[in-house]
Amino acid sequence: MSKQQRNITLDTSEEKGFDYKELLGKVISYWFLYVISILVCVTASVLYVRWATPDYKITSKILVEDQKSSSSGMGTNMLSDFSSLFDLPSNAQNEIDILKTRTLMAKVVDQMKLNVTLFKQGRFRADELFKNEPFDVEVNYKTDSISSRISKIQLLKSGKIHFVNKKENIDVEVRYGDIIHLSQFDLFFVKNPAFKVESGEFILSIVSKDSKVEALSKAFDAQLSDKQSTTIDLTLNYPVAAKGEVILQSIMNNYLQGNHDNKVQTADSTIAFIDKRLSIVQKELTVVENDFAGFKSSNNIADVDEQSKALVTSASDYNNQLNTQEIQLAVINDLEKVIKDPNNKTIIPSSLGDQDPVFAGAIGKYNDLLIERDKLNMSYNSDNPVVKNLDEQISNVKINLVKSFETYKKGLQVAKNELANRNGAIINEIKSVPKKEQQFLDYSRQQNLKQELYLYLLQKREETMISKTSTIASSRIIDSAKSDQEPYKPNGPLIYLAGFALGLLLPFGFLYFKDSLNLKIVSRMDIEANTVVPVLAEIGNNTDSVSLVVTDNSRSVIAEQFRSFRTNLQFLFRKDEPQVIMFTSSMSGEGKTFVSLNLGSTLALTGKRVIFLELDLRKPKLSTSLGLDYNHGFTNYIVSERDDIDNFIQPLYFSENCFLMSSGPIPPNPSELLLSERAAQLFARLKKEYDFIVIDSSPVGLVSDALIIEKFVDLTLYLVRQNYTFKSQLEIVNKLVNEGKLKRTYLAVNDIKTNKAGYYGYGYGYGYGYGYGNYNQEVKKNKLFDIFKKKS
């Protein structure tokens, strides 16, 4: 594989960058299209700005009061603000949601009858009327859901109204007040005495309230002014500034009224709740008070604290008395031992305790007798009658004393038992006091709670009644609805810019899609995008009817292009060696004959001997284009055994250095003739006698003839033709070069229109020659013209 082939194989995988020069060339080539497009689009944008229905932005601002929620604690903190149970704290985001509700917008639409709109018909547009309508439209709906109806109204000089509704096939003339019956509603007109309009055309639009609500909801917006604040910015877009201000103001007023009504409704609900609770609490308080009174009555309770103190005091007194009695009994028991002891002759103590007077008197008498006996014992002995008499008395007194003692002891025991019983009863009563006191406290607490709740409800009822009469909305308007001075839509500068940009994009898009849909080669980019085989020459369009455009004195653009072609070839030729140049293409009609003829003529102008070989044996054209017969040439030479090659070559009259071997008769087996040894001998012979051998071969995309003779060729020129060769056909030359079937292959582009985008820079010939306009005159001046014409 040659170096060129390796480069082609490698380069076909590389992506080409964007060609700005080609884009510039397209713009320059189609400048008129861009100018027309820009003028049309800018003019359209100007007319749109002038006649489009404007939209104004109406703004306002609402402040939402920041209401703190009450404490959620129990007890008196919760009861300190009873209304907090019903008046939830306002939230700015919640208020925004309320402002955006369909209910609020529907109320505004219904109040202002916004679904009925009257327009004044102008020359280019219809303008909505507001507060300057010559008449009012009264509509009586027959159904809740209606479809849109557009009617035309014309005020006649006769004072009548011409009403037309094509959808319902109504065309009538009516007077003010006359009812017009439609399928969905009836309507009539009321003249506005403030406006004296005798004639004019109007458009009446009646739509459903739902559709109008939806349209206004889309044009309305509410947003927080700042995340840290509770102010809300309201915006409404509407084509009539004054009407938009009224609509937005109505939205705010209805919102505030709804807020106020909600507070009043809340107050009414609160009052009704309080009244209901008052009735229940009053009944509960009565029941508690009756139960409490019965409890005190049944338990003889007047004052629990005082009665408890008295019981404790009585219990203490009885306990003291009981202790005294027990002490007395203990003393009596001790005395009983002394008294009943027969050996005891001692005095009985009489000062212990509180004794009974009878018992005390008996003890005193007994003690006195003992003292007297002791005195007698000092004077008399025990047998003395006086002493005995006294002993007898003491014995009798002691018997009485014992009887008195038993009586006294029984009395003390009875008193003790009575005191113990009384003390036990008081103790039992004291033990029952805590339970009674607890019940007393429960009744007292219930009574106090019900009483406080009853008083609190009475207080809150009065407070709610007062707040109901003086309540205000929790939001207020801080900026009333106000429209901008200028409409925000249409935006003139932006639309002008868009029109200009569209004017640029439309031609670009047109050309882009035109190129995308074009399967043929139009520009250099089409070639470079589909192959990396180098382009050696680019030949312009031949506007004349002659095939030969290069002669001694030709200075046309296309002649200069062939001279440039010749110059490019000089860098590829081997010096002082004959060169074989083959022209082929993908299909017939791409200009092989035309390009090969003129290139050969250009080479001959340098004094080189050039011979043309017409080897398109299946469809020869070179001889025909020169006006010569092709029936004596290459085929004849191959099939004959003659070596006089000059007999098959004929000179060409336009140059003494140009010669032609025509194809000869069309053979049935052209490929076999090209493979013969005589063909190789022919090329060897011609290389000795001529400097350049120019071969007009058959299309390689159709037959393989060109590939057969490629081994004799030094340079292959592959012809493509603008707006003729298909882009896909370039894959043929890619494949042949990559497979090594075509060596030293270059492209030549033919029939380029100099005004086509993508082929820029081909006007250079105008500066050095006559240009296309003078080409015919130049050819006519050529001395060979007449000879060539006769031979043709």
Query: pLDDT grade, residue 291 (50/70/90)?
Result: confident
Q: Which two tokens stand for residue 539?
A: 């030949």
Between 776 and 344, name the one with better pLDDT.
Answer: 344
Quote the pLDDT of residue 441: 64
Q: Compute the Cα dihedral for 73, 79, 82, 86 and give only its sign.
A: positive
CA distance 177 to 130: 21
pLDDT above 60 (res 302):
no
What's the average model confidence in pLDDT over 47-62? 89
Query: pLDDT grade, residue 766 (50/70/90)?
Result: very low
Beta-bridge partner residues of 692: 579, 610
Quote the pLDDT of residue 78: 39
> Which of 99-103, 398-402, 436-440 is predicted with the least confidence, judged by mean pLDDT?
436-440
β-strand pairing of 170-174 with 161-165:
antiparallel
Residue 391 lies in a domain: yes
Please, what's the b/e burial string for 167-179 (b: 16 or more CB within 10 A of its CB; e: otherwise)?
A: eeeeeeeeeeeee
7 Cβ contact partners less than 8 Å away, ≥ 6 residues apart: 532
pLDDT above 70 (res 355):
no
Residue 249 lies in a domain: no
What's the average model confidence in pLDDT over 296-307? 61
Quote the pLDDT of residue 317: 65
pLDDT above 80 (res 350):
no
Task: Say yes or no: 326 and 445 in one domain.
Answer: yes
Q: Compute the Cα dihedral for 153, 157, 158, 159 and give only its sign.
A: positive
What percentage of the chain has pLDDT greater than the value 70? 76
CA distance 446 to 434: 18
Residue 399 lies in a domain: yes
What's the average model confidence in pLDDT over 411-415? 76
β-strand pairing of 135-141 with 185-191:
antiparallel
pLDDT above 70 (res 71):
no
What's the average model confidence in pLDDT over 435-461? 72
Quote the pLDDT of residue 310: 63
Q: How many domains does the chain have?
A: 4
pLDDT above 50 (res 46):
yes
Within 519-675, where are the H helices? Answer: 524-530, 557-570, 592-604, 622-625, 634-639, 670-674
Between 72 and 46, name the one with better pLDDT.
Answer: 46
Answer whether 754's CB lies under 8 Å from 540's CB.
yes
What's the average model confidence in pLDDT over 765-792? 36
pLDDT tens column, 138-147: 999 888 788 8
Residue 276 lies in a domain: no
Task: Say yes or no: 416 and 504 in one domain.
Answer: no
Query: pLDDT grade, residue 614 (50/70/90)?
Result: very high
Residue 509 lies in a domain: yes
Between 756 and 25, name the one with better pLDDT.
Answer: 25
167 Cβ contact partners less than 8 Å away, ≥ 6 residues apart: 149, 150
Task: Say yes or no: 203 and 127 in one domain.
Answer: yes
φ/ψ (deg, to 5) at 574? -85, 135
CA distance 499 to 376: 166
What's the average model confidence in pLDDT over 380-407? 75
Answer whether 514's CB lies under 8 Å from 526's CB.
no
Q: Which strands make up the sheet holding 149-155, listed edge to edge?
A: 126-128, 116-121, 200-206, 149-155, 161-165, 170-174
pLDDT above 90 (res 378):
no
Q: Compute the Cα dihedral for 77, 78, 82, 84 and give only its sign.
A: positive
> Which of 330-344, 657-671, 750-764 is predicted with the least confidence, judged by mean pLDDT?
750-764
The DSSP 8-state label assigned to residue 729 in this structure reads G
Query: pLDDT grade, residue 637 (50/70/90)?
Result: very high
Residue 446 lies in a domain: yes
Quote the pLDDT of residue 715: 94
Tracing tokens 């020169």 back to the chain, one arrives at 626
Residue 236, judged by CB atoms within 10 A of its CB (0-12, 13-18, 19+), counts as buried
pLDDT tens column, 110-129: 999 999 999 988 888 888 88
| N-term to C-term CA, the chain | 45
Quote the pLDDT of residue 605: 92
pLDDT tens column, 498-538: 999 998 889 888 877 877 777 888 878 888 888 989 999 99
pLDDT above 60 (res 304):
no
Closest CA to 484 of 130, 785, 744, 244: 244
Strand, helix or coil for residue 57 = strand
Quote the pLDDT of residue 300: 62
Listed residues 435, 470, 505: the one ending a domain: 470
CA distance 587 to 603: 26
Between 174 and 544, name the one with better pLDDT.
Answer: 174
Query: pLDDT grade, residue 452 (50/70/90)?
Result: confident
Quote the pLDDT of residue 77: 43
Between 104 and 574, name the one with better pLDDT.
Answer: 104
pLDDT above 50 (res 299):
yes
The alpha carbon of 233 is separated from its chain's Cα centroid by a whole number of angstroms, namely: 20
What's the average model confidence in pLDDT over 235-261? 90
CATH number of the domain at 679, please.
3.40.50.300
Task: Say yes or no: 121 and 23 in one domain.
Answer: no
CA distance 191 to 185: 20
Answer whether 744's CB lies under 8 Å from 573's CB.
no
CA distance 110 to 144: 12
Task: Say yes or no: 33 and 129 in one domain.
Answer: no
Query: pLDDT grade, residue 11 (50/70/90)?
Result: very low
Q: Which two tokens stand for residue 752?
A: 């380029």
> Which of 48-57, 306-315, 393-402, 774-783 is predicted with the least confidence, judged by mean pLDDT?
774-783
Residue 32 lies in a domain: yes
Query: pLDDT grade, residue 81 (50/70/90)?
Result: very low
What's the average model confidence in pLDDT over 275-285? 81
What's the average model confidence in pLDDT over 471-489? 83
Question: Would you list the DSSP string of 485-503?
Answer: SS-SBS-HHHHHHHHHHHH
> Which of 441-450, 456-465, 606-615, 741-750 is predicted with the least confidence, judged by mean pLDDT?
441-450
What's the average model confidence in pLDDT over 224-247? 90
Query: pLDDT grade, residue 341 (50/70/90)?
Result: low
Residue 283 lies in a domain: no
Quote the pLDDT of residue 762: 36
Query: How many C-beta neighbours within 10 Å does residue 374 have?
Result: 11
What's the average model confidence in pLDDT over 92-114? 90
What's the average model confidence in pLDDT over 220-228? 87
CA distance 306 to 549: 147
Task: Say yes or no: 439 and 550 in one domain.
Answer: no
pLDDT tens column, 647-662: 999 999 888 999 999 9
Task: Say yes or no: 391 and 534 in one domain.
Answer: no
Task: Say yes or no: 504 and 578 in one domain.
Answer: no
Task: Say yes or no: 600 and 640 in one domain.
Answer: yes
Answer whether 125's CB lies under 8 Å from 53's CB.
yes
Q: Give the range of the structural domain holding residue 365, as residue numbers without chain letter.
A: 304-470
What percentage of the chain has pLDDT greater than the value 90? 30
pLDDT above 80 (res 47):
yes
Query: pLDDT grade, residue 643 (50/70/90)?
Result: confident
Tracing tokens 């007047």 back to the chain, one arrives at 302
pLDDT tens column, 155-193: 888 888 999 999 889 999 999 899 999 988 999 999 888
Quote the pLDDT of residue 430: 60
Quote the pLDDT of residue 395: 75
CA distance 697 to 685: 19
Task: Say yes or no: 445 and 367 in one domain.
Answer: yes
Closest CA to 326 of 409, 404, 406: 409
pLDDT above 50 (res 705):
yes
Between 171 and 25, name the one with better pLDDT.
Answer: 171
On average, the pLDDT of the chain sits at 79
Task: Say yes or no: 449 and 496 in one domain.
Answer: no
21 Cβ contact partners less than 8 Å away, ≥ 6 residues apart: 760
Task: Say yes or no: 532 and 452 in one domain.
Answer: no
